[in-house]
Chains A and B, each alone.
Chain A
């Protein structure tokens, strides 16, 4: 069984740029959720994707967008990066019917 993988591991961008983060879900899982974890904080829910559609969204602006592909992998896109977007971005996969989410190792994004 393959776990959740994310790429890249680390990324440095400048303010105003755009970034794409990628996630491959655990085999057998059809739902992907994205979280942002700022330093010293718990993860905050960004959005969830199921059947290639957004299926719930947290309190994040529209410049945070996502995609899910037929193989259940997912992308998180952030436009017009701001300094406060610097964080660990976590992807979690699950079964839509289940309660347990399994996390990837995260992508550390630094915005200068």
Chain B
């Protein structure tokens, strides 16, 4: 059972369209991070959300953390071909053996933006 469910798994859209990607769980997370990953490369951190209900904007990307800190969404406005990639959400469950905790990743949403 996947702890973090991402939807949709695949998304193919035209340049200029808007889209929303979802990340859902039945577990509460102390924080949640969104990453973007290119093929054969490591994930690159886009944003961290910590407070329930928090909304963060990064240019055309808007990230929201659910009030109960169990889910999150990523909205992209006017998508561009450069937005193409695998979008991963990762939840931090907080203290684990005294550490900051490991990250639990979803399977990702593979986005393709066609010119």
Beta-carbon contact of A48 and B43 below 8 Å: no
17-62 of chain B: CB within 8 A of chain A: 30-31, 33, 35, 40-45, 48, 50
1/0 contact trace for A55-92 toward B, CB 8 Å?
11010000000000000000000000000000010101
In the complex, what distance in Å separates the CA atom of A103 from the CA atom of B88? 13
Determine which of A41, A103, A106 lies in contact with B107 in the assembled complex, contact meaning CB atoms within 8 Å: A41
Write the nearest CB–CB distance from B31 to chain A, whole angstroms.
5
Partner of B97, one of A6, A41, A55, A95: A55
What CA separation (Å) do A96 and B102 show in the bound complex? 11
Question: How far is A80 from B55 in the complex, measured between Cα atoms in Å?
Answer: 46
Asked if residues B41 and A48 are in contact (CB atoms below 8 Å), the reply is no
In contact, B45 and A42 (Cβ under 8 angstroms): no
Q: Whole-angstrom distance between the alpha carbons of A55 and B102 in the complex?
A: 10
Distance to closest chain A CB from B9 (angstroms) = 9
Q: Apart from A42-B108, A45-B103, A103-B42, what are 8 other A-B pairs with CB-CB below 8 Å?
A: A35-B103, A42-B105, A42-B106, A43-B88, A45-B102, A55-B99, A99-B30, A103-B35
Q: Can you list 14 A-B contacts with CB-CB less than 8 angstroms, sorted by A residue number?
A: A33-B103, A42-B107, A42-B108, A43-B90, A44-B105, A48-B102, A55-B97, A56-B96, A56-B101, A88-B40, A99-B31, A99-B92, A101-B103, A106-B42
Q: 8 smallest A-B Cβ distances: which pairs?
A: A42-B105, A103-B42, A45-B102, A56-B97, A55-B99, A99-B31, A56-B96, A105-B42
Task: List B residues at the A interface (Cβ < 8 Å).
Answer: 4, 30-31, 33, 35, 40-45, 48, 50, 88, 90, 92, 96-108
